[in-house]
């Protein structure tokens, strides 16, 4: 009886849900609904949807940026009535409390409801780059560059799910992340926002991030629209400075820079943000070939294209490809931009309405843009639930999320050097802790944390642990001597720090970078500042073992400090649990398993990516990084053996199977990332010396052995030939896993 009752209730509930307006419409209905709305909209309403404005435009001035933000209701109502704004964004100066966010979003949706005709919800956007970093108390993850070191797809996806859940719990349905440009120029100050220098790694982790954001396993109500950015080529400025030109030949663009975006589009990414700068002489915001021909037509991207900050007007004011503001708007909209991050005036609106009325911009282009915007609003369920949902707060900053964050931070940590296996340290030792990154939380997090630049230490949650505090917790305060030694670029007390070393068994020197974001992070020299290098070198003279911890968003050249460090721990920007994770690694409570997602350069001008061309390592030229991509040590020893291919001849039909045995020969449990590389020995176009094609993170107990299997297909062998199209060529290839190599011959069947 009970059983039948349950079925009856389930049927009731199901039919209620089916008939309920509270569910986002299915994919098929979305186009229809968007079109129905579009038919009712005036030109002004349409252009309003295409306009994105910063939060500070509609808030009251406040004395202190830590005071809650208050919406200027009168101004907001006027703006909504006059411009029908489709989107607001940004944090208003610093992270807001979740209650403050709820108030802000509620007032915005109220204003939209009460002052516009069609009741189209506003879509709020935010940079939740490594967690919901603009909501106070959120779970703040390692930055992408650090996550890439884990080679752990699952962790990246879980991190994205938690970020999405906490963003949505804040009332925000749109996240301007992930960055799918690759970090192939370590000078670039946004290097830390990338997944490193490899195209396959970036494609894989980008897809995980997008799926975790948009299709969270926690449920649709916890999902947000992701935004792949910055399309295309932004990450590779020739001179290493942010927002400067990239010169990328067509072949490199298609083989290296485009695939992560193609993978993201296949994964259904809903939005894209553009490269603020220019490639090959053309500002991307004005490039019809890139935006419409390539992205919208060839790649079949159906989502919305948003500009970056002020980048439409900058076609006039900065790039001077448009001789008037009107021409800038015309160029960008006709190139394919759907929404303008204006963001602090209404010029875009005024100009675009006029351009359409004058017949300069056809209304079809406007309709296409608005259709794309409405689709995202429909897909994210905004029409059903435009308001913050208090029920979602239960998933905000949970203990479980903190635990996953700690796991993620631990798995990012990359042990670069461990002379005579001095690490892990015994907890009975006395240590001297020193250096500019030892006792700050901001250095674990970098830009996009609480504030844009991430450098307001006073706003960080005091209960989180710096490296110093985590070490003190681990071995007791009385076993830790602390002396600052030097600031980032200014000596403080190096000689007294050296004297204090006599009381310690080991020296832990924490070096790295002060937080930065975007253009303010530009540097003229990749070398770590001299006082930091000097600190290591002076301490080394004491004869005590020196353990160097690096907290930095890009690989800073270490010069003599590399040789003078007995151990080097790369922490990247490991997030708010990073201090604990580093202490866990130093004292052996966690066995490190991170591996570099980029080549760590030895010289400031010597950087070459691992997938270099033969000519880059020939005669006097050498690929000689300090540490190569994929490098990372463990406290246990993994033995690789028995690399086997299913055939020595591959016809391109079906798959070539590859297997390898990995055994943990040490006494500790550990994780290792198994990476498969392919080398095309001869090609009609010079081929990279090797390319990463597969990876898998595995965990092995002491003595345990596992067979790891991969499959390779014809697609993995393709490249752009001399006639500028994708081809495969018959010939010999090498499969390589951890130094083991096997050849196969590729003979394409006609
Ligand atoms: C950055 C973007 C960011 C946007 C909104 C721009 O300056 O380049 O990455 O999403 O600001 O904050
Ligand atoms: C915003 C950034 C933006 C920058 C541009 C900051 O206030 O938070 O997203 O890129 O201003 O100047």
Q: How far is the CA of 341 from the centre of ligand 1 (A)?
A: 9
Provide the sign of the torsion angle of the four alpha carbons 176, 180, 186, 187, taken in this order.
negative
Residue whose CA is at the smallest distance from ligand 1 atom 7: 309
Answer yes or no: is pLDDT of 679 > 50.
Answer: yes
Answer yes or no: is pLDDT of 23 > 90.
Answer: no
Give the nearest ligand 1 atom to 230 CA: 9
Q: What beta strand segments (E) does 527-579 contain?
A: 546-551, 567-570
What pLDDT is recorded for position 113? 96
Residue recorded with tokens 């011959």 = 745
What pLDDT is recorded for position 606? 72
Q: What is the pLDDT of residues 501-551, one digit of tens each?
A: 999 999 999 999 999 999 999 999 999 999 999 999 999 999 999 999 999
Q: Report helix, strand or coil for 591.
A: coil
Min mean pLDDT across 13-22, 117-126, 334-343, 477-486 is at: 13-22
Answer yes or no: is pLDDT of 653 > 70.
Answer: yes
CB 301 within 8 A of CB 265: yes
Q: How far is the CA of 518 from the centre of ligand 1 (A)?
A: 9
Give the number of other Cβ atoms within 10 Å of residue 400's Cβ: 11
User: CA angle 315-321-324, nearest 5°?
Assistant: 70
Residue whose CA is at the smallest distance from ligand 2 atom 1: 452
Pocket of ligand 2 contains residue 309 by CB under 6 Å: yes
What average pLDDT does range 39-48 have in this prediction?
98
Element (H, E) at 51: strand 51-54
Question: Is residue 324 very low, low, confident or very high in pLDDT (cuts 50, 70, 90)?
Answer: very high
Q: How far is the CA of 691 from the centre of ligand 2 (A)?
A: 36
Element (H, E) at 174: strand 174-175
> Residue 340's beta-bridge partner residues?
51
Ligand that comes closest to the CA of residue 452: 2
Ligand 1 contacts (CB < 6 A) are 90, 127, 176, 229, 273, 276, 308-309, 518
Q: How far apart are CA 435 and CA 437, in angstroms?
A: 6
Q: How far is the CA of 453 from the centre of ligand 2 (A)?
A: 9
> Residue 726's beta-bridge partner residues?
720
Give the nearest ligand 2 atom to 93 CA: 7
Ligand that comes closest to the CA of residue 134: 2
Answer yes or no: is pLDDT of 238 > 60.
Answer: yes
Answer yes or no: is pLDDT of 233 > 80.
Answer: yes
What average pLDDT does range 406-414 have in this prediction?
98
What pLDDT is recorded for position 750? 60
What pLDDT is recorded for position 15? 41
- Please state the φ and ψ torsions of residue 699, each to the nearest 5 degrees: -125, 135
Q: How far apart are CA 335 and CA 313, in angstroms?
A: 14
Give the nearest ligand 2 atom to 308 CA: 10
Pocket of ligand 2 contains residue 65 by CB under 6 Å: no
Answer yes or no: is pLDDT of 76 > 50.
Answer: yes
Nearest in space to 387 (alpha carbons), one of 129, 127, 119: 119
What average pLDDT does range 27-55 have in this prediction?
95
Answer yes or no: is pLDDT of 9 > 60.
Answer: no
Q: How far is the CA of 452 from the centre of ligand 2 (A)?
A: 7
Q: How far is the CA of 363 from the centre of ligand 1 (A)?
A: 28
CB 88 within 8 A of CB 122: yes
Q: How far apart are CA 317 and CA 457, in angstroms?
A: 35
What pLDDT is recorded for position 20? 40
Q: What is the pLDDT of residues 607-633, one digit of tens each?
A: 899 999 999 999 988 899 999 999 999
Nearest in space to 480 (alpha carbons), one of 489, 491, 490, 471: 471
In this prediction, what percent of the chain has a pLDDT beyond 70?
96
Ligand that comes closest to the CA of residue 344: 2
Q: Which has the higher per-residue pLDDT, 14 or 369?
A: 369
Residue whose CA is at the smallest distance from ligand 2 atom 5: 309
Mutate to test the pocket of ligand 1, among 88, 127, 181 (most ligand atoms within 8 A of CB): 127
Mutate to test the pocket of ligand 2, among 55, 189, 518 (most ligand atoms within 8 A of CB): 518
Question: Is residue 66 very low, low, confident or very high in pLDDT (cuts 50, 70, 90)?
Answer: confident
Residue whose CA is at the smallest distance from ligand 1 atom 6: 309
CB 476 within 8 A of CB 552: no
User: CA angle 348-350-355, nearest 5°?
Assistant: 90
Ligand that comes closest to the CA of residue 181: 1
pTM: 0.95
Q: Which residues are catalytic?
A: 308
What pLDDT is recorded for position 25? 61
At 747, list the tokens.
Answer: 């003979």
Q: Which has the higher per-residue pLDDT, 195 or 605?
A: 195
Ligand that comes closest to the CA of residue 190: 1
Min mean pLDDT across 37-41, 180-184, 230-234, 615-619 is at: 615-619
- Please state the φ and ψ torsions of residue 377, each to the nearest 5 degrees: -65, -40
How many residues appear in the chain?
A: 750
Q: How far apart are CA 144 and CA 452, in angstroms?
A: 16
What average pLDDT does range 248-261 have in this prediction?
97
Pocket of ligand 2 contains residue 452 by CB under 6 Å: yes
What average pLDDT does range 247-269 have in this prediction?
98
Nearest in space to 744 (alpha carbons), one of 653, 642, 644: 644
CB 523 within 8 A of CB 485: no
Nearest in space to 175 (alpha carbons), one of 261, 237, 299, 91: 91
- Please state the φ and ψ torsions of residue 393, each to the nearest 5 degrees: -60, -25
DSSP assignments along 120-167, one per residue? PPP--EE--BTBSTTBTT---PPPHHHHHHHT-HHHHHHHHHHHHHHH
Question: Is residue 24 very low, low, confident or very high in pLDDT (cuts 50, 70, 90)?
Answer: low
220 exposed, middle or buried (CB, 10 Å; 0-12, 13-18, 19+)? middle
In this prediction, what percent of the chain has a pLDDT beyond 90?
94
Q: How far apart are CA 39 and CA 7, in angstroms?
A: 43
Residue whose CA is at the smallest distance from ligand 2 atom 2: 452
What pLDDT is recorded for position 748? 81
Nearest in space to 370 (alpha carbons), one of 122, 38, 30: 38
What average pLDDT does range 1-21 have in this prediction?
43
Residue whose CA is at the smallest distance from ligand 1 atom 2: 308
Mutate to test the pocket of ligand 1, among 53, 94, 176 (most ligand atoms within 8 A of CB): 176
Instruction: Write down the mean pLDDT value for the chain.
Output: 95
At 633, list the tokens.
Answer: 């040590």
Give the number of other Cβ atoms within 10 Å of residue 569's Cβ: 26
Residue whose CA is at the smallest distance from ligand 2 atom 11: 452
87-89: strand order across its sheet: 174-175, 125-126, 87-89, 51-54, 340-341
Q: How far is the CA of 292 from the centre of ligand 1 (A)?
A: 22
Strand 340-341 to 414-418 pairing: unpaired
Strand 649-650 to 740-746 pairing: parallel
What pLDDT is recorded for position 59? 97
Region for residue 196 given its phi and psi (left: phi exceeds 0; alpha: psi -120 to 50; beta: otherwise): left
What pLDDT is recorded for position 379? 97
Answer yes or no: is pLDDT of 18 > 70.
Answer: no
Q: How far is the CA of 446 from the centre of ligand 2 (A)?
A: 15
Q: How far apart are CA 160 and CA 209, in angstroms?
A: 5
Residue whose CA is at the smallest distance from ligand 2 atom 10: 309
Residue whose CA is at the smallest distance from ligand 2 atom 6: 452
Q: How far is the CA of 158 from the centre of ligand 2 (A)?
A: 27
Q: What is the pLDDT of residues 131-174, one digit of tens each?
A: 999 999 999 999 999 999 999 999 999 999 999 999 999 999 99
């Amino acid at each position: 009886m009970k059983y039948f009752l349950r079925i009856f209730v389930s049927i009731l509930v199901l039919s209620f849900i089916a008939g309920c307006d509270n569910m986002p419409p299915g994919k098929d209905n979305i186009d229809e609904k968007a079109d129905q709305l579009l038919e009712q909209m005036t030109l002004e309403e349409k252009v309003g949807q295409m306009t994105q404005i910063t939060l500070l435009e509609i808030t009251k001035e406040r004395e202190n940026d830590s005071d809650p933000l208050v919406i200027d209701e009168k101004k907001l109502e006027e703006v909504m009535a006059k411009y029908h704004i489709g989107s607001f964004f940004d944090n208003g100066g610093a992270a807001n409390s979740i209650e403050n966010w709820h108030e802000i979003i509620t007032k915005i949706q109220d204003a939209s409801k009460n002052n516009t005709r069609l009741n189209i919800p506003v879509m709020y956007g935010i940079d939740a780059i490594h967690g919901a970093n603009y909501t106070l108390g959120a779970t703040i993850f390692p930055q992408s560059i650090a996550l890439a070191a884990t080679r752990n797809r699952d962790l990246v996806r879980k991190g994205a799910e938690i970020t999405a859940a906490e963003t949505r719990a804040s009332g925000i349905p749109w996240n301007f992340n992930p960055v799918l440009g690759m970090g192939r120029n370590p000078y670039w100050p946004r290097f830390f926002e990338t997944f490193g220098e490899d195209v396959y790694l970036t494609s894989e982790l980008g897809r995980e991030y997008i799926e975790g954001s948009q299709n969270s396993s926690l449920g649709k109500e916890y999902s947000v629209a992701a935004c792949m950015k910055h399309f295309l080529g932004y990450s590779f400025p020739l001179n290493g400075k942010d927002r400067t030109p990239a010169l990328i030949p067509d072949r490199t663009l298609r083989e290296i820079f485009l695939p992560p975006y193609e993978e993201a589009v296949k994964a259904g990414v809903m939005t894209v943000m553009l490269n603020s700068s220019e490639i090959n002489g053309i500002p991307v915001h004005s490039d019809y070939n890139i935006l419409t021909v390539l992205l919208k037509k060839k790649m079949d991207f159906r989502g919305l294209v948003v500009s970056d900050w002020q980048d439409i007007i900058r076609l006039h004011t900065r790039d001077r490809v448009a001789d008037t503001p009107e021409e800038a708007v015309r160029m960008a909209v006709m190139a394919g931009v759907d929404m303008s991050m204006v963001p602090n005036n209404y010029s875009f609106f005024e100009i675009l309405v006029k351009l359409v009325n004058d017949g300069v911009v056809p209304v079809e282009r406007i309709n296409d843009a608005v259709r794309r915007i409405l689709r995202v609003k429909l897909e994210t369920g905004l029409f059903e639930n435009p308001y913050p949902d208090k029920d979602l707060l239960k998933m905000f900053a949970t203990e479980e999320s903190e635990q996953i964050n700690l796991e993620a931070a631990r798995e990012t940590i990359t042990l670069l050097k461990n002379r005579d296996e001095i690490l892990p340290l015994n907890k009975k030792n006395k240590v001297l802790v020193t250096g500019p990154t030892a006792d700050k939380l901001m250095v674990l997090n970098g830009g996009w944390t609480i504030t844009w630049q991430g450098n307001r230490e006073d706003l960080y949650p005091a209960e989180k642990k710096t490296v110093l505090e985590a070490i003190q917790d681990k071995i007791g305060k009385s076993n830790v001597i602390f002396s600052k030694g030097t600031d980032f670029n200014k000596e403080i007390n190096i000689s007294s720090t050296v004297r204090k070393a006599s009381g310690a068994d080991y020296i832990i020197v924490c070096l790295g970078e002060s937080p930065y974001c975007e253009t303010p992070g530009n540097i003229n020299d990749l070398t770590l500042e001299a006082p930091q290098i000097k600190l290591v070198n002076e301490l080394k003279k004491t004869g005590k073992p020196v353990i160097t911890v690096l907290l930095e968003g890009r690989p800073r050249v270490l010069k003599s400090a590399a040789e003078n460090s007995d151990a080097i721990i790369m922490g990247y920007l490991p997030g708010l649990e990073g201090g604990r994770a580093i202490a866990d690694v130093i004292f052996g409570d966690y066995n490190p398993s991170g591996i570099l997602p980029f080549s760590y350069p030895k010289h400031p001008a010597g950087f070459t990516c691992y997938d270099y061309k033969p000519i880059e390592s020939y005669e006097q030229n050498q690929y000689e990084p300090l540490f190569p991509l994929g490098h990372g040590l463990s406290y246990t020893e993994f033995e690789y053996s028995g690399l086997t291919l299913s055939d020595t001849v591959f016809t391109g039909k079906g798959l070539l199977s590859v297997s390898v045995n990995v055994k943990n020969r040490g006494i500790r449990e550990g994780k290792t990332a198994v990476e498969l590389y392919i080398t095309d020995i001869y090609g009609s176009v010079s081929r990279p010396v090797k390319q990463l094609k597969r990876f898998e993170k595995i965990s092995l107990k002491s003595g345990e052995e596992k067979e790891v299997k991969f499959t390779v297909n014809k697609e993995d062998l393709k490249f752009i030939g001399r006639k500028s199209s994708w081809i495969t060529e018959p010939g010999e290839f090498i499969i390589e896993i951890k130094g083991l190599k096997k050849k196969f011959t590729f003979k394409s069947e006609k």
